[in-house]
A and B are shown apart, each in its own frame.
Chain A
């Protein structure tokens, strides 16, 4: 179900992007560095363009939260600079155009959801009318009078999203938005995020969960020990043609037939399944392969074309930069 949503979302989002074709920069980060006792963020640079969904990807402790902290003015950078909407640094007025959720939902535990949002509305200078609207979006309107401390983690996280959306932000920053949630909570949060992305709001999302990034993001910045090791489109992360998974009644025959064809770099057997890695210079479709094999008298009981998962790509990337 999640997958379906994200597929439609991606298509729609690309249409949207094609239509506007804007290259307006929301955020531009240049040589940002933070040293505590050791270097936590090392000289990273990246740009965020309007309407895209960016993933900040990296294992725990790779500097994601510190980077967000600096961009949100809660952490003082050691060196480097950044521009929000073309304006240097982060002042309170800029922050009012940004919706951000950091680490975990922070609200006054003894206040009701509604009062907590009133405080945020006061700070951001928004009217209280939006409160009802955002509470309904995250399905918490019925619980608005309950104190924050009575909420489950999933509800807390949804309230945090409501709070971030209060001022109709131009950018949404999410730090590990599904961390610690149960599967249902994860689905709810992802649905909400996909809906927000459909509205054309730029999103920067940090996560160490690769499938999450893969499902939501169009662009990715990969951090490793404070260094940015990749910044660009998700689908350009590795130049990779993908591979076929095949199975026939007679796998030995299939194996030798595949080896005869000049299309594959590696062919190997993995249990019942044969995996054939397509060569970088070759271009072959599943139907063409099926036809070719049928001509040789081999009938397949299984054939799928797969791309390397982001996880494999990511691991490869991290491995290569060691």
Chain B
């Protein structure tokens, strides 16, 4: 473990672009959490997200994790470049010849991913807690920690996403192809889930249709990107504005998405290992 940590330290932290972009990520991450303090000009009027209640316990956990969740692609870029570099410079091959095992290689990359995810999660947790105590209308401890599970979901979401990127990097070895593949995945999943919804609600109307949409089990929700995004649902329905318009917010804990994500992690990690083992370098 110590050895793998040192390896990743030498390989990554001595690389200037890596250092710069990592620092940038954490700065942007922190800044983005304070977004509610800014007034937006929208449709002629100003919108202040804080006044819309995003910093209220317990919704704040949903809001912050969802907003900074969008930034995961930024950190993902860094991880993809770092892993693809190993293959472009033929360093993976050299590492193997020097006596690094494939397990250790995967282990070192998981270590980097894990550390990034943990730091990101801790920052989000600490700042959210701070913002909540600062601006929330309620601060009774049962309300504060009611939806704390979003922090756990955020960790799983990021970790799964990075495992997915690691797998694609090992499979395709060129960062450009990895991003293309993610894009294609995203479109294909979108098409598949739309198709499934369409098939299920065909010919239905009104309440019956909503009932299906709310409670039915969708296989497409188990797809990697879909299950990651279901871990933290879009919180816009929880804005005060939405409440005023009479929109009802219902939330079921996405247990099946959580299980799907953990399963995908295992698939991606074992898949990466299998490719490293089977391919000729």
Q: List A residues at the B interface (Cβ < 8 Å).
A: 36, 69, 72-76, 91-93, 95-96, 100, 102, 106-111, 115, 118-120, 122-125, 163
A95 touches B98 (CB 8 A): yes
B97 touches A122 (CB 8 A): no
Neighbouring B residues of A95 by C-beta, 8 Å: 96-99
Q: Among A75, A106, A111, A124, find the residue whose CB has the most chain B CB atoms closer than 10 A.
A: A106
- The size class of the interface chain B forms with chain A is 20 to 34
Neighbouring A residues of B10 by C-beta, 8 Å: 111, 115, 118-119, 122
Neighbouring A residues of B248 by C-beta, 8 Å: none
B93 touches A123 (CB 8 A): no
**Is B127 an interface position by the 8 A CB rule?**
no
Neighbouring B residues of A125 by C-beta, 8 Å: 3, 99
Q: How far is the CA of A107 from the CA of B94 in the complex (A)?
A: 8
Q: Among B10, B97, B101, find the residue whose CB has the most chain A CB atoms closer than 10 A.
A: B97
B3 touches A122 (CB 8 A): yes
Report 23 cross-chain contacts, Cβ distance below 8 Å, ordered by A residue. Answer: A69-B280, A72-B96, A74-B93, A74-B97, A76-B280, A92-B99, A96-B99, A102-B94, A106-B89, A107-B91, A108-B15, A109-B89, A111-B14, A115-B14, A119-B7, A119-B10, A120-B98, A122-B3, A122-B10, A123-B95, A123-B99, A124-B99, A125-B3
**Is B143 an interface position by the 8 A CB rule?**
no
Least distance between B109 CB and chain A CB atoms (Å):
15
Q: List B residues at the A interface (Cβ < 8 Å).
A: 3, 6-7, 10-11, 14-16, 89-91, 93-101, 104, 278, 280-281
B14 touches A110 (CB 8 A): yes
Q: How far is the CA of A75 from the CA of B94 in the complex (A)?
A: 13
Q: How far is the CA of A125 from the CA of B15 in the complex (A)?
A: 23
Across the A-B interface, give the 4 residue pairs with the lowest CB-CB distance, nearest first.
Answer: A106-B94, A95-B99, A96-B99, A74-B281
Q: How far is the CA of A106 from the CA of B15 in the complex (A)?
A: 17
Neighbouring A residues of B93 by C-beta, 8 Å: 74, 102, 106
A72 touches B97 (CB 8 A): yes
Neighbouring A residues of B6 by C-beta, 8 Å: 122
Least distance between A187 CB and chain B CB atoms (Å):
26
Q: How far is the CA of A96 from the CA of B95 in the complex (A)?
A: 11
Q: How far is the CA of A95 from the CA of B96 in the complex (A)?
A: 8
Least distance between B59 CB and chain A CB atoms (Å):
45
Give the residue name and chain of the B residue nearest to A104 (CB). Answer: B90
Neighbouring B residues of A108 by C-beta, 8 Å: 11, 15, 89, 91
Q: Among B91, B95, B104, B280, find the residue whose CB has the most chain A CB atoms closer than 10 A.
A: B280
